[in-house]
Structure 1
Amino acid sequence: MTSANPSSKWSDLAPRVLSAVVMAGIAIAAVALGNPVFLIMISVVIGLCVGEFGRILHPVPPRIFVLLGGLAAIAMFLAGQRFDMTTSSASLIAPTTLLLLLPPLLGAGLIKQHKLLFFGYCSLIMLAGLGFVVMGPEEILIWFLLIIIMSDVAGYFIGRMVGGPKFWPRVSPKKTWSGTIAGWVGALLIGLIAAGFGVFTLAEAMFAPLIAFAGQMGDIAESAIKRKMGIKDSSNLIPGHGGVLDRFDAMIGAAAVLVLLMGVASLMTSAG
């Protein structure tokens, strides 16, 4: 009887390391360069993610996903220039913010199948872009990124070493409950360290596992979509490692939930 190659258990380590390096590099550069470079970088990343998602659901003709990606980048840049969560609880429904609905609406009209799926996930991508804008080129962006990276790293190694029951075997066969919980614990640890440096309050640090879980679900959501469409990668833009969406799927889920939490907090503050 032949035994499985132990190294196969770590076969996706390289893409994960690359993801962490790419995201860390972008975050550090964004913080260092500030606006408007930061906003341009976020707009380009969001545009690429939307374009790749359009490609997943509507592989031909290419002009469709190129158009959607370009529109998403422009809408993100215009909305980001005028968005300010601190000025009004109504910022989430301001006219410029509503520009973010243009790519989901246009894409749902242009693609022939999976219209509702495109509208929903594309809206999530645009909302995530707004989350990055809310964080801005500030220290909080670095800590947010560290929460996602720690969640991924802790979940990956503990999940592979400990194993155990699968988290959602039909959608993501490799994810285990041990790895998922390890990711939450790792995220909480980073949140508490950030609180120690005064970046978060202790109460805000307690939400770190929720942000990590949102990131895990973002990863699972993109995996489920690719599995449904019968493809491995969102594109071949990063040779050997897939596309931009493959590298930022967890960040999209986490950032989208973050901006929703901040919006709810803003509304509660105004009501009080």
Structure 2
Amino acid sequence: MTREAARTGTGPTTLVAVEQKLPRAERIVDDALAAAFLPAAARAFLACCGPRIARWMMQATERKYPGLWGGMLCRKRYIDEALQDASAPVEALVNLGAGFDTRAFRPGREPGPALPAWELDQPANIEAKRRRVAARFGNVPVHVRLVPIDFEHEPIAAALAMQGYERTRRTFFIWEGVTQYLDEASVRTTLDFLSTAAPGSRLALTYVRQDFLEGRELYGAPAMYRRFVEQQRIWRFGLDPQTLPAFLAPYGWRVLDHPEPEAFERRYIAPTGRSLTCMPLERCVLAQRVAHGGS
């Protein structure tokens, strides 16, 4: 993963923080911690930002990058709900490429000990997050481990083991907004690691469509193609929705849910009454680790 990719880590959290400036009934995501995890300049701007500016930012982004704002927020809401699914209890959270995500630090749905969590990202992002978490809480909460790693050159299993993670834990893995920044070899190396997860573990991942990266279908987002594929060249890996189940199956993962962007719009955007769309060039998947020989 390149340094340019690492710099994108604050983007999704910024959108979430701006979202909090809207009335609760209009929000797709509720996250009171998001602003605290952002750089000082962003926090200063947010302190002066009200609902009117927040709506203007959303509309301006929608015009330039159709579906980006709504898509990012919908995928976060979807993963939040999957993590909180009481029908599929887990014993640990591992966030692969956590950026400045706040999930590990939010209060849980039920009273009791917080879910043990390991957050992995590039060293620069991890150190920046460590400072902001310490500023917000006084120190990093004891249930969270911040793990610096270069996904393209360092083994995930070793990095986690050094921080006390045990593969026997039934784990919820988050791989959100990351795969497109990796090369195929690194994606498969990560899946090799995930193939050793405990049966019953769950994986929420996002990916960019392969036909978009190849320029065969731009899904109404030519500005995003020019920026991320042609100019910055930081989006490098994509998948085909039709072949995704077969891609994951050899690693022991079975697709549970693979919602269409239109489903996100109906489920999360329509109730807010906002004129947002959900970008079709990115998809979100929920999968489960099956036992050896399972189906």
Structure with greater proportional helix content: 1
TM > 0.5 fold call: no
Structure with greater proportional strand content: 2
Taking structure 2 as the reference length, the TM-score comes to 0.28
Taking structure 1 as the reference length, the TM-score comes to 0.29
